[in-house]
Structure 1
């Protein structure tokens, strides 16, 4: 045979072999699919047999029971089948044994292709068995890392001139710390409520030795850096048409000894929340809880203040401050009734009536499903008068019986409600006010946690720094922004700003307007 004929014959044989190979691969695919379906059927059959065995075992126990209780009739095959179908449906609906698995969609995701590691495996010769890969998830924690950046700044001469590389910015003058280092320190102290000593231990466990005086100095310098930002938060909060106020305490170390021989006193921080701007402002004035502090801050305010019935707040609602409308906190009224105990039927009834105000008010939320402030005000005018009238009548009945002891818990609760009555009614004259003061109290808990962990501020000056830094940290929390990213960015931006920089320039850096470049 000629060379061309041999080549042609070999090509024909090769094509025939390829066709045979394709047919064989199709047969293999069909067989694999059939094996998979058989395997699934066998597994289902085995599971069904196991279920039937368990059912039969249970029925045997019931039938063999010798007690006087008559055993029920065994279920029919149709009933058993219906029961199993119902269980299967529930099992499929539950998935993961009924547990709700959080998929953490907010996280950074890295995807990895996992191939067989068998030495006989050759991907160039293999065909993928299934169209979709099996998904497996693992969550990795990368602890705090510290990186020492060494900058080698070169200097050159050219044409009689010096050219020198620019020194990178630092958080503070003559400091080796970047804004991210200060941000990590402040986040642990003022959001996670760790005392400085524990922060130092935490840093050390991750490879950085920080001494306590340096840590305190960094916090002190950060508070100075944030003073203008703090003043800007104050201005913004006090321009808010609706604010909420409360106070909480912190132990302060002082030089003078108290009657127990300890240099410790209770110092109070006053919290003011802008309910529209969603920012919080903390005030500390030598730890005083007198009316001069809060009146000095909000005496010129124009708008709505919500608070409990503490005397300085009540004074703000008097005729002496005509530009302020004070509204009450119904939750505080309920707490007074709860203090009467579970065995007081009158207190429980009054508490139940107040709960109806909350139940009705929570049926709608402003901003959800097109529900407006005007809609909510109209709705309040419909449901509130009847419940308030019922509450008033019930108070009159209880007091009219003449059997209340003057010093009883119930009398104290009723007196508190009477004193706050007009301020409670005023809540329902607006469509966007809360029935309670829970927002400011919820953020005061961060101070409570810190108080339990850190025990005290080292001085009045330390408490003032705490007020500044808590103001920034909790305002970020209210705005639901990442405090670490915020502080890192703001510290690095403002590190070179002069102390006399106009406060207006800081307005764009406040948490409600901040946008990372």
Structure 2
């Protein structure tokens, strides 16, 4: 990501701190990760956990409202400025006032410290409707690969594992482009001999799902 410019949305892993002071990269936080840490505190301190979760749920309700109204990016940003910004400010004040009342090494203390450190990264989403309130979509897209990692250990050899990864990537591209993987595979396999012929001047890129779909 050396030459990357734009919004970078992630959890609070320290590895992303490298972009903190960059001029070309704007770090965006994930409210789902903040929520997850507070959710884990229910058994330890139900009262404070429910207070924190209420602020977060209210901010998500604004997103549901924007989805229901099918607002464009500009409209979503305006709605966030009007409704979500006061909620985020109140949440920040609650974090600041609650932290001295809990043990720093308790689950709630750690959850509040985590949330408070990420609040500056939550603020960009208020101004740009293209930014999601969390990065759940990204994590959901990666989850099948994470679950499959152990299975990939038994591909037979390194080359077979690499081929499997390529096929999975292509099928994933089909899914993203709304292409039926079976239809795509049947068509591409039937055409490959003509593209791979010694004297063929055809470009294999024509068979990639996004081009094939057209």
TM-score range relative to shorter protein: 0.7 to 0.9
Q: Does 1:352 align with 2:60?
A: no
From 291, 309, 320, the equivalent of 2:12 is 309
Match of 1:465 in 2: 163
Structure 1 residue 363: Cα displacement:
0.6
Structure 1 residue 395: Cα displacement:
0.5
User: Aligned in 2, Cα 1:472/1:385: closer, same or farther, shift over 3 Å?
Assistant: same
Question: CA separation in 1, counterparts of 2:10 and 2:158?
Answer: 26
Structure 1 residue 356: Cα displacement:
0.8
Which structure: larger Rg? 1
Q: CA RMSD in A?
A: 2.7
Match of 2:128 in 1: 430
TM-score, normalised to structure 2's length?
0.82
Answer whether contact 1:337 1:413 (CA < 8 A) is retained.
yes
Match of 2:210 in 1: 512
Question: CA separation in 1, counterparts of 2:107 and 2:153?
Answer: 33
Q: Does 1:443 align with 2:141?
A: yes
From 382, 385, 398, the equivalent of 2:82 is 382
Query: Which structure 1 residue ranges, 5 or more long, are not aligned?
Result: 1-297, 499-504
Match of 1:397 in 2: 97
After superposition, the C-alpha distances for 1:82-102 in whole angstroms (9 at most, x for unaligned) are xxxxxxxxxxxxxxxxxxxxx
After superposition, the C-alpha distances for 1:72-113 in whole angstroms (9 at most, x for unaligned) are xxxxxxxxxxxxxxxxxxxxxxxxxxxxxxxxxxxxxxxxxx
Match of 2:111 in 1: 413
Question: CA separation in 1, counterparts of 2:149 and 2:126?
Answer: 36
Structure in which a larger fraction of residues adopt strand: 1
Structure 1 residue 303: Cα displacement:
1.9
Question: CA separation in 2, counterparts of 1:336 and 1:343?
Answer: 12
Structure 1 residue 339: Cα displacement:
1.5
Question: CA separation in 2, counterparts of 1:416 and 1:462?
Answer: 41
Structure in which a larger fraction of residues adopt helix: 2
How many residues get paired?
Answer: 207
Match of 1:201 in 2: none
User: Aligned in 2, Cα 1:480/1:422: closer, same or farther, shift over 3 Å?
Assistant: same
Structure 1 residue 409: Cα displacement:
1.1
TM-score, normalised to structure 1's length?
0.37
From 309, 332, 344, the equivalent of 2:33 is 332
Match of 1:477 in 2: 175
| Secondary structure, aligned partner of 2:213 | coil
